[in-house]
Amino acid sequence: GSDLPEYMFGFSESALRSIGTRYHFDSLNVIAESQAVPTVIRLFVLDEFSSRLTRAVFLQPLGFNADIFAGSDQKRMAELKKRVAKNASHQLSSLLLDSRLRYNHRLLSKTVSFGDPKSKAQYSSGLKYNSLPELNQLLQRGKKVTIICGAKDKIFPAEEIRQHLAATGIELPVLEVKGAPHSPLATKLGMNLLKAALSELDSQ
C-alpha cells in the first residue's frame, strides 16, 4: 500500500484518457474530494490535460496539511485516529438521522482496520503526500481553484489549510460550510459540501 499515490495517479490518468477517446471536451470544471485531490492536481499539471481545465473546486482536501502528519507511520496513524475521533464527535446527531452515514460507518468498520499493516501503509502514504508544490504549479498555469471545507472538519481543518497555504506563498480562498464535519459526500452534510461546490462553479 505504500505506493498508493502512484497507483491512484496511474489509474486516474488512464481513466481520463479513456473518457477522452469517447467524449470530446475542450473545457472542464472539476470537483475533487478528499483523497482524490492530490491525483487530480497532478493530472491537470500535465500539458496533455492542463489546457482543458477551466476551474477546479477541492472539497475537504488531502495533501494540504502534510506537515501535521510528519514522522513515522505510527505517529501519522496516531494523529489520524485522534482526528477521526474528534470529527466523529460532530457526527453523533447525524448518525441518528442519516442512514447513509450509518451505512458508511458500517462499511468502513468492515473493510478498514487501523491495525492492519496494509491499511496503515495506505493511509500513511496518503497522509504524508504534500500536494502544495503541485498546486502552486497549477495556479501558475492560470487555473482558477477554490477550496471548500466543513466548518467542523477535524481531519483537514480549514484554518490549518489556510496556514499551510500562506506558509507556501499560495493565495487561495478557503470557504467553509457551516455545521459540516469531514463527511462522505453521499450523506446529508456531505451533500451540503457538494452543493457549495456546484454553487461556486455556477457563480463564475
Q: Check residues 116 and 147 and name the one with the higher pLDDT.
A: 147
The helix/strand/coil state of 150 is strand
Q: Of 46-60, 105-119, 160-174, 187-201, which range is least confident? A: 105-119
Task: Provide the grid cell at 140.
Answer: 501558475
- Write down the pTM of the prediction: 0.89
Which pairing describes strands 28-33 and 174-177: parallel, antiparallel, or unpaired? unpaired
Q: What is the pLDDT of residues 16-31, one digit of tens each?
A: 999 888 888 888 999 9
Residues 117-142, mean pLDDT to the nearest whole number: 90
Q: What is the pLDDT of residues 36-65, one digit of tens each?
A: 999 999 999 999 899 999 999 999 999 999
d(CA 171, CA 167): 10
The helix/strand/coil state of 112 is coil
Q: Which amino acid is at 114?
A: F
Task: Provide the grid cell at 115.
Answer: 491495525
Compute the mean pLDDT over every residue in the chain, rounded to the nearest whole number: 89
